[in-house]
Amino acid sequence: MYRLLRNLHLTFGLTAILPLLLFAVTGGLLGYNVYNPPALESERVLTDVPATALASPRAMAGWLMTQGIRGALTHVEQDDDDVTLRIERPGRAFEVRYGTDEPRVEVSARRHRFLLMLGYMHETAGLTDPYWGTRAWGWLALVSSIALVLLALSGLVMWFQRRQDRRTGAIVLAAGLLWGLGLLVAIRLG
Q: Evaluate whether 8 touches 155 at the Cβ level (below 8 Å).
A: no
Pick between residue 57 and residue 71 the one whose CB is nearest to another protein: 71
Task: Please say which residue, 58 or 166, places its beta carbon nearer to another protein.
Answer: 166
Amino acid at 138: G
Round to whole Å and give the CA distance between 107 and 83.
12
How open is the CA angle 89-108-118, to the nearest 5 degrees? 30
Q: How far is the CB of 36 from another protein (least distance, A)?
A: 13
Judged by CB, which is closer to another protein: 23, or 98?
A: 23
Provide, rounded to whole angstroms, the least separation between the CB of residue 107 and another protein.
17
CB of 20: closest distance to another protein in angstroms? 5
User: What's the rounded Cα separation, in Å, for the pair 5 and 166?
Assistant: 17
